[in-house]
Amino acid sequence: MISSQNLNYDVPAPKSGLLALPIKFYKRVRSLPMSGQIGVLILIFVLGTALIGPLLVPHDPVSQSLINRNKGFSAEHWFGTDAFGRDVFSRLVVGTRHTILLTSSALLLSAGLGILIGLVAAYNRSNWVDSLICWTMDILLTFPMVIMGVVVVAILGQGTLNVGIAIAVAFLPRMVRMSRGVALTLVTSEFVEAARAIGASPSRIVIRHLLPNVMIEMSSISTLWLATAIKTETSLSFLGLGVQPPTPSWGLMVREGLSTLYINAWPSLLPVIAIFITIIGLNLVVDGTQDSLNPHTKDH
Amino acid sequence: MTSTEIKGAPILESTDLKKHFAVRKGFFQRVTGQVQAVDGVSLSVAPGETLGIVGESGCGKSTVGRMLTRLLDPTAGEVRLRGVNVADVQEDNLRRDVQIIFQDPYSSLNPRMTAGEIVIEPLIIHKIGTPEERKARTEDLFRRVGLRASDISKLPSEFSGGQRQRIGIARALALNPSVIICDEPVSALDASIQAQVVNLLMDLQKELGIAYVFIAHDLSIVYHISHRVAVMYLGKIVELADRASLYSNPKHPYTQALLSAVPLPDPTRERGERTLLEGDLPSPVNPPSGCRFHTRCPVAVSRCKTDVPEFRDAGKGHMVACHLA
């Protein structure tokens, strides 16, 4: 989920026209190592499925058919049907939307808030603000991610939105610690001192000077964490705390397929494969972009 | 005050400036000692004048620079700008009047801002001019420091070290300051680039009448640019005099040792015997008693260990802190 907006900082004056951004994006992708390019392809495929897939699916993902239960692969039902006779292919595609969009928007929320808190903590590293933030985040960090999700869902109640909030809360301390760590190396550098010398306010220093300099690290680590977020969402849905049936999501599909695992494993197995491919794609992209996003390899 | 020929009232002066950093240890962060980074520094700069501060690493010269710009608050003593204590001056006005140029041209520029954004930022912060005026001013500043107007949209990583330092100078000039603290502005640059940047600073001084506090460890560059020079050792000024007087007739043994180790830009001068300093700079946590230099002084006598030498006029305003001078 590294957006092209984070990639274009070193490209000179953009060519005008509708194609400028896609062309730039294409050039950046082509400059990645092969594994990164494959990762980008996987992510484009997954994102495309999430965004437009649900409009194109051949069957209603929630309509049941008792005579069509547990069917194998066929021209009518590409990936067969599940224990309720629902089309597995359609459910998988629609589930992509729920899983991907839910986790990435939860992660964006968490990143937006967490990065800012982390920067404020780093800027106030010598006083009580930093201590307070660090202690709070340390306490939050002691909960394993899924337990944290369970706690939040238990407090707020079930539902898609609450699962998103649960994921955002679970990732918040990680975002804070990470951005604070990256920013700590920056706050002592001379350009921050220079900003103070010309009279920049603390909020200006945080937003104009620190934020742009942690974005590279944070966007690549967030991409990696998206994989963990997907796992958390699927775990919560698997536990029955996430997306509620009959709405499909990958985790929920794994769970619903369990009862018929020995008769027809595909309804469970296919979402697992989808999760696997998505996580591999994310990791390949992060790996591939590490070098080309690092300003230090460009500088010298 | 401490100066010989102040042209008019000093624009920036400090009195008995001290900066002690607490040394903390253990789980409860108990204060177990004080690093006396700067311990009683009094100096002054007149408008249009350059005061050089020299000394080895760790002697506190950069800390003095930070306190003069109020990037650090002094533990004791005061800094006065045009005779007014800066603690009472509105920060906004101070920022306009006292600027700083940093040592490292790489870390002193935000790598994610273009050169133009860096130079225009002070004008935006202080709400000076309309956007068009700011843009014109930025272009003017670029020309003045020897950069092209087409450089405005480039990122710092596209410039060389010397050019980056010029961007830093343009940023410092943007607010029309009357004093610029130059914290080792050329020590990270190549020798040939050093000369260019120093000459640029001198030209700007001639044109704009800016006063400089020029902090460096390179004595020949300080000789080139300064009107008066202060020598610092372990948080204190040990000698302060006119450039000519200090370089031709150094009175403090530390200054003599420093000068004997440096090739001077004057081939006609006889090089005296080299004085080699023994040992390392003592720890500022636990500075030596009496004269702080006595542990390494080649001519120290017994009273140097017990009595703190007075910082006094040794003739014609040549100030020195030594019992023997």
Mean pLDDT of B250-268: 79
Q: What is the pLDDT of residue B267?
A: 62
Tokens of A237: 């849905």
Digit-coded pLDDT (tens) for A173-223: 999 999 999 999 899 889 999 999 898 899 999 999 999 889 888 888 888
- DSSP letters, B53-81, are EE--TTSSHHHHHHHHTTSS--SEEEEEE
Q: Residues of chain B whose C-beta is under 8 A from some C-beta in A?
A: 69, 71, 91-92, 95-96, 99-100, 102-104, 106-113, 121-122, 125-126, 153, 155, 157, 168, 171, 174-175
Tell me what pLDDT residue A76 has.
Answer: 75
ipTM of this complex: 0.84
Instruction: Indicate the SS3 state at residue A186.
Output: helix
pLDDT at A291: 64
CB A251 within 8 A of CB A160: no
A127 in contact with B, Cβ within 8 Å: no
Confidence of residue B4 (pLDDT cuts 50, 70, 90): very low
pLDDT > 80? residue A293: no
End-to-end CA distance of chain A: 28
Given a cut of 60, whether residue B5 has pLDDT beyond it is no
**Closest chain A C-alpha to B138 CA, distance in angstroms:** 15
What pLDDT shows up at residue B30?
A: 78
**Mean pLDDT over residues B169-191, rounded?**
91
Does A3 score more than 50 pLDDT?
A: no
Q: Chain B closest CA to A72's CA: distance in Å?
A: 55
Output DSSP code: residue B270.
P
| Two structure tokens written together for A153 | 């869902």
Res. B290: pLDDT tops 80: yes
Beta strands in chain B (DSSP E): 12-25, 30-45, 50-54, 76-81, 84-85, 98-101, 179-183, 211-216, 228-233, 236-242, 312-313, 319-320
In this complex, which of B113, B122, B155 lies closest to A199 when CB atoms are compared?
B122
B12-320 maps to CATH 2.40.10.120? no
Domain ranges of chain B: 12-320
For the domain made up of A60-270, the CATH class stated in words is mainly alpha
Structural contact between residues A43 and A230, judged by C-beta atoms closer than 8 angstroms: no
- pLDDT-based confidence at residue A97 (cuts at 50, 70, 90): confident
Q: Any idea which residue has 């469970």 for tokens?
A: A268
If you ran DSSP here, which 8-state letter would residue A209 be given?
A: I
Q: How far apart are the first and last CA of chain B?
A: 20
- Ordered by start, the domain boundaries in chain A are 60-270
Per-residue pLDDT, B266: 62
Q: Find, among B165, B187, B210, B200, the residue nearest to B53 by Cα.
A: B187
Helix (H, G, I), strand (E, B) or coil at A198: coil
Q: What is the pLDDT of residue A251?
A: 82
Question: Residue B110 and residue A9: Cβ atoms within 8 Å?
Answer: no
pLDDT one-digit tens code per residue, B102-119: 988 889 999 989 999 999
Output B29 or B146, whichever has higher pLDDT: B146
The H helix count followed by the E strand count for chain A is 13, 0
pLDDT of B127 higher than 50: yes
B88 confidence band (pLDDT: 50, 70, 90): confident
Q: Which one of A82-96, A103-117, A284-298 scores highest in mean pLDDT?
A: A103-117
Mean of per-residue pLDDT scores for chain B:
87
Between B277 and A117, the more confident residue is A117
User: Quick one: closest CA in B to A8, which residue?
Assistant: B112
* pLDDT tens-digit map of B8-22: 688 899 999 999 888
In this prediction, residue B273 carries a pLDDT of 63
pLDDT greater than 90 at residue A162:
no
